[in-house]
Amino acid sequence: MPAIGATDDGTGEQFVACHACDALLFEPPEGVRRARCPRCGAVLTTERAGSLDGVIAAAVSTLILLGAAVALPFISIDAAGRHSEASVLDAAIAAGGEARALTLAVFAAIVALPATRALALIWTLAPLRLGRPPAPLAREAFRLAVELRPWSMMEIFVIGVVVALVKVAGIATVGLGAAFWIFVALAAIAFYEDAALCRRTVWRLIG
């Protein structure tokens, strides 16, 4: 999270702490659309016209697609003349086995946490986009969204499923359901969201 405050020399300049290496740098001046940390190369700001619209649209799409993914079949397997279909919940149960806590952790990482993060982003950004004051607890909501991103593992889940399917393909016929392709789309949306979201800009707007 960027930490911006007054200078220690009384000049009126502001500082920004790099979110990657914590280097204390002068805040990029107004009008700079892209700035990087000179120490580690992390992007400090990526301000672009319409970026709030893109992030809000991505968050809303995430909620809609997650709801559809939970309801639709994830994969189907045909083996020895038998056909069976599995949902996302079935996949989480299979990953957790008899460990109920692991099942809950897998389901949270692929469904609950991404949904919570999307709601937090909408709560934070929608009032700003409408030109209104920040919503109550906007800072806490955005901090939650930032902290949840490393734990939102939809793309890791998709990669893990693909690896597992390659191993199973030799002994059974595997079909990919609509929910699998929804998760592929969700992974792409997550990458876009990361590229479009400028944390420094949001922190400045919510004060």
Number of other residues whose CB lies within 10 A of the CB of residue 75: 21
Looking at the structure, tell me whether residues 74 and 31 fall in a common domain.
no
Looking at the structure, tell me whether residues 56 and 39 fall in a common domain.
no
Q: Is residue 207 part of a domain?
A: no
> Contact at 8 Å (CB) between 53 and 35?
no
> Contact at 8 Å (CB) between 181 and 152?
no
Higher pLDDT, 138 or 194: 138
Looking at the structure, tell me whether residues 108 and 12 fall in a common domain.
no
Give the C-alpha separation, 25 to 11, whole Å: 14
Cα-flanking dihedrals φ and ψ of residue 138, to 5°? -65, -40
- Up-side HSE of residue 172: CA atoms within 13 Å toward CB? 18
pLDDT on residue 32: 55
Higher pLDDT, 114 or 203: 114
Looking at the structure, tell me whether residues 155 and 64 fall in a common domain.
yes
Looking at the structure, tell me whether residues 23 and 106 fall in a common domain.
no
Give me the domain span that covers residue 22. Answer: 5-46
126-153: burial string, b at 16+ Cβ within 10 Å, e else: ebbeeeeebbeebbebbebbbebeeebb
Which residue is associated with the tokens 């693909």?
162
Q: Is residue 205 part of a domain?
A: no
Q: Is residue 206 part of a domain?
A: no
Number of other residues whose CB lies within 10 A of the CB of residue 76: 15
Looking at the structure, tell me whether residues 132 and 186 fall in a common domain.
yes
Looking at the structure, tell me whether residues 26 and 62 fall in a common domain.
no
Looking at the structure, tell me whether residues 41 and 55 fall in a common domain.
no
pTM: 0.73
Give the C-alpha separation, 111 to 144, whole Å: 16
User: Residue 66: pLDDT above 80?
Assistant: yes
Give me the number of domains the chain comprises: 2
Looking at the structure, tell me whether residues 85 and 39 fall in a common domain.
no
User: Residue 3: pLDDT above 50?
Assistant: no
pLDDT on residue 9: 43
Q: Is residue 129 part of a domain?
A: yes
Looking at the structure, tell me whether residues 75 and 93 fall in a common domain.
yes
Looking at the structure, tell me whether residues 25 and 70 fall in a common domain.
no
Question: Binning pLDDT at 50, 70 and 90, where does residue 1 land?
Answer: very low
Cα-flanking dihedrals φ and ψ of residue 107, to 5°? -65, -40
What strand order describes the sheet that includes 173-176?
A: 82-86, 75-79, 173-176
Looking at the structure, tell me whether residues 104 and 13 fall in a common domain.
no
Give the C-alpha separation, 72 to 86, whole Å: 9
